[in-house]
Structure 1
C-alpha cells in the first residue's frame, strides 16, 4: 500500500508537533512536505511561560520554622501555581505556532524527569527546557543538571565531601546520557565526588559550596584529574555512547518504538560529529525518506497528552473550567509535572489497559457533551495538586463545561472524507463503517471517528 501525500503531511505534523489544527485542513491534502517542514522548523521568538503572580523565593530553613498554618498556605500556593504551569504548558502545545519547540520540550520534559513541590523551580526548569529544546544537547544537559529541580529531586543537596550521595551521578549517567552498561560502579562513586557541593540559592540560582566539595583527584571513565561536576559532564559528552543513547531514545519517541539499528548508527555518528546539535538531528529525521515509509505511519500509540492536545487542536473549544483537564491527565496516566519516577513516563503499549482504553475512546463523546465522565481518580492529594480539597467535587468533572464551535468544524470538513483526515491507519475501518453507526451530521461522524481504536495511533 502506497503512502498518500495527506498521510505524509499528517505524519509530519503528528510527530514533529501535536497534529494539524482546523485551519490547516483546507490545503492539507495538497501542501508539499517542504512547506510544512519550513513552517515547523522556522525560528520563532521564544515565549517563556509566565504565571499570573511571580512565585516567591522560599528559604527552606525559614519555611521549616513556620507554624502549621504558614506551611499550609505555602503548599496551597505551590499547588495553585503548579496547576497553572501544567495548563499553560498544555495550552502552548495546542495553540503555539512553534510546534516543533513544544514537542521537543515535551520530549525533554519526560527525559529529564523531576517531581518537586516548588512551583518556582518547576517553572524555571520547564522554561529552561523549552528555550534550549532545539539547541545544543550539552548546553541543555548542563543547564538542567544545575537546576534546583534536578538537584533537589536527585538529592544532590546531601552530596557532600566525606559523605557523597551517589543518586545524582548515577541517574545522570543511567537515564540522561550514557545508558546502562556504559559505566561502572567505580565511575558512579568518582562522579558523585565531583558533584559534591553543587547546590542552589533560595531564588533558584545555581550555587557551588566550596566547603562541601571534594577537591581530590578522581578517575572517571578512564580519565584522571581534579574533576568538578562540569568536567564530569564534558567527559560524558565525549563518549559516543551518549550520542547513541540520546538518538535511540529520540528515534523511539519520534519515529518508531522498534529501533532500526543501521539508521540509529548513522544518526548517532552525525549527532556526535555535529557536537550534539539537536535541531540538525531533528531536521535529518523529519526530512529523510525512511521517516515516511509505511512501517512508520500510524505505528505509535499516542500518549495521553498527545491525544488530548491533538483533539483540542482539531476541535476549537472553550473550557470554562480548564482545571478539569488535570483530572483527565491523571486518569489517563500522564500528568504534566508529575512523572511516575526519575525514568519519566512509559510509552507504547504501556499507555493502554482496560480502564485507560475505555476513557481514551470516550473522551471525544464526553468533551462533546454526549456522555458524562463515569470514572474518578483514586484519592491522592499529592498527585491531585490539592483539587480534592477544593470546592469542586468530582461530580463537577462528569459534566465539563466545554463549548465546541461545530459550525467552524463542519465548514472545515465540508466535502472531505473525515477518516482520511483523522486516521493514519484504517486497516479495519473506513468511512462507511463510521457512517453506519452515526447520524449524517459532520459532528457525529467526527466524534465517532475520534472514538475508534485507530484514532489512538499516530
Structure 2
C-alpha cells in the first residue's frame, strides 16, 4: 500500500470512528498497521469520565417543589426561574459533552455514545438536568459494552421512562407507549411484532417507575402480575422478561447491526446486495457474541470493505460531527459557550433535544439550502470571528428557543494554529494545498479546486498566514461536509 493510500485510509478511519484526527495524530497513525490503530482507538476509550454539571441532591425533590408554592398557590415567577436554571444546566451538559468529544482522547466511545443518543432518542421533559445527566452517562458508560446491558440500563433511566410515559403505565390502566418504542425503535424495528405483543408487553412493564431523586424503582402494587402472552410465549412476565425475549430474537441483532452499518459505513437503505450480505454476516456475529458492541465495531473497522472507495465521502457530517471535528482538528476554544448552541440549533441537531422519539433522520436530511450555506460559512465564522447574519430556523420548539441567543451572533475563538502548522513546516509551498487537503478532505483536490483555493491566498502572506487561509478555504468546500 502506497503512502498516500495509507494516509487516506487513516483519515477516513479517524473521521468515521471518531471526529477526525489532528495532523499529528494522523501522521503517527499512518506509520502503524490499521489493526494496531484500531486497537489503539479502543484502548484510548477504555476509561469513562462522567459528565457532571449537577449533583444528585440538587434535583427537584418533593421538598424543593414545595418551595414553589406560596399560600397554597404555585408561584409562577419562581417556577419560571427554576425552569430557566434547569435549562441552563442542560445547556451546560450539552457543552460539557461537546468538550469531551472535541478532546479526542476517547473519541470512539464518544462517537458510539452519540450514535446511541440518536438510537435511544430521549429529550428532557420538564428540563430535568439530573435525569439527562444520568441518561448521557449511561449511554457513554455502556457505549462499547454488551448491547443487552445498554438496553436494560437505558430502559430503566428515569429520563426515558418519563419521556415514554411509563410513569403512567399501571395495572388495569396500561400505557403502551414505552413498550411500543422499545420494540419498534430500540430492538426489532417496525413490522416485527404484533399489536397484541405490545399490549401484553405494556402490562409486563407496569411498575417500572422512578423517584423524584432520579432512582429507578419497581412498584409491585401497580404491577400487573397476571398471565400474559408475548411472542407466542405464556407466563406472568415482567419487564426484564420482555427485554430478555427481545434479545433472544435474532431480528434485534439484525436491526441494530443495520443501523450501526448505516451510521458508520454507508448512509441510506439496504439496496445493494453486497451491503445486505455484509449486514447479515455482521448480525450473525453480533448475535453469537452475546451482542458484543466492541467486537462488532472492531470487525467493521478492520474489514477491507469498510475502506472501499464507494464508502469514502458518502457520509454527510451531522452538525455535532461538523462542529466537534473542527474543534478537535484545530484546537478551537470558544470564549463564550453560546455560539456552539447557536450552531447546533441553526443546523438542526441540539444534543438532548432530538426532534422526536425516532431521533435525527440524518443523511441528506441534514442538508437544505439555508443549512448548506451556513455550513460552508462556518469555518469563517469560527476561524475569522466573522459576524453571523443567519438566524436559526423557527422549529416551533419552545425548549430549544430558550437555549438560543436573540439577534446576530459573533464567534470569538482561540485557535491552536501552532500545533496544527507543525506538520507542514517542511512541506514545499507549492505542495501545501494538496498536503492540507489530505488531512481535511475525503478526496484529493481537483485542478479547478486547487486553482480556487490558491486564488484565495493573498500576495505577501507569511507562511503561517498562508496555511491559515488555505485551511479556511479548504474547510469551506462542499467536500469538507463529507467523511
The alignment's TM-score, normalised by the length of structure 2, stands at 0.89
In 2, Cα distance between the equivalents of 1:420 and 1:22?
10
Alignment match, 1:93: 101
Q: Which residue of 2 aligns with 1:302?
A: 317
User: When the two structures are superposed, what TM-score results if normalisation uses the length of structure 1?
Assistant: 0.94
* 2:13 aligned residue: 12
Work out the CA distance in 2 between the residues paired with 1:275 and 1:205: 28
Distance 1:325 1:281, change over 3 A: same
Match for residue 386 of structure 1 among 402, 425, 429: 402
Distance in 2 separating the partners of 1:331 and 1:290: 35
In 2: Cα distance, 1:20 partner to 1:77 partner: 36
Is residue 2:482 matched to residue 1:457? Answer: yes
- Cα offset, 1:7, TM superposition: 1.0
- Whole-angstrom CA distance in 2 between matches of 1:344 and 1:449: 31
Q: Does the 8 A contact of 1:6 with 1:30 survive in 2? A: no
Uncovered stretches (5+) of structure 2, i.e. residues with no partner: none
Of 274, 288, 308 in structure 1, the residue corresponding to residue 303 of structure 2 is 288
Which stretch of the first structure deviates more once superposed, 376-385 or 173-182? 376-385
Q: Matches of residues 245-394 of structure 1 in structure 2 within 5 Å?
A: 245-258=255-268, 259=270, 260-369=275-384, 371-378=386-393, 382-384=398-400, 386-387=402-403, 393-394=406-407
CA distance in 1, matches of 2:250, 2:190: 14
Q: For 1:25 and 1:241, how far apart are their aligned partners in 2? A: 38
Cα RMSD for the two superposed structures: 2.1
User: Alpha-carbon deviations, 1:35-82, whole Å to 9, x = none?
Assistant: 321210115321111126556232369458542133123212211110
Say if 2:19 and 2:104, in contact at 8 Å, map to a contact too. Answer: no
Sort the Cα spacing of 1:430 and 1:381 in 2 relative to 1 into closer, same or farther, 3 A: closer
SS in 2 for 1:300: coil
Q: In the comparison of the two structures, how many residue pairs are matched? A: 453
Q: Which moved more, 1:167-176 or 1:200-209?
A: 200-209
Q: In structure 2, which of residues 210, 227, 233 is the aligned counterpart of residue 223 of structure 1?
A: 233
In the alignment, what sits opposite 2:175? 165
Q: Give, in whole Å, the separation in 2 of the partners of 1:201 and 1:91.
A: 30
Q: How does 1:87-166 map to 2 (within 5 A)?
A: 87-116=95-124, 117-166=127-176
Q: What secondary structure, in the 3-state scheme, does the structure 2 residue paired with 1:336 have? A: coil
- 1:306 & 1:207 partners in 2: Cα distance? 36
State whether residues 10 and 26 of structure 2, in contact with CA within 8 Å, keep that contact through their aligned partners in structure 1. no
- Structure 2 residue matching 1:219: 3-state secondary structure: strand
| Aligned residue in 1 for 2:88 | 80
Further displaced range: 434-443 or 99-108 = 434-443
State the distance in 2 between where 1:83 and 1:53 align: 15
Contact map agreement 1:22 1:315 (CA 8 A) in 2 = no
Residue 163 of structure 1 deviates from its aligned partner by 1.0
For residues 62 and 166 of structure 2, the distance between their equivalents in structure 1, rounded to whole angstroms, comes to 15
Aligned counterpart in structure 1 of residue 440 of structure 2, from 405, 422, 428: 422
Structure 2 CA distance for partners of 1:252 and 1:25, relative to 1, 3 Å: closer
**Greater mean deviation of Cα atoms: 208-217 or 144-153:** 208-217
Q: Structure 2 CA distance, aligned partners of 1:122 and 1:405?
A: 32
Does the aligned pair in 2 maintain the 1:199–1:207 contact within 8 Å? yes
Structure 2 counterpart SS, 1:44: coil
2:453 aligned with 1:434, yes or no?
yes
**Structure-2 change in CA distance of 1:57 and 1:356 (3 Å):** same
SS of structure 2 residue aligned to 1:446: helix
Distance 1:49-1:311 versus aligned 2 partners, 3 A rule: same
**Whole-angstrom distance in 2 between the partners of 1:89 and 1:262:** 36
1:393-431 residue CA offsets vs partner (Å, 9 max, x unmatched): 433x2x211122333333333315111211112475653
Matching residue of 1:57:
59
**1:1-32 deviations in whole A, cap 9, x for unaligned?**
99811111011101111110243254354343
In structure 1, list runs of 5 or more residues that go unmatched.
none
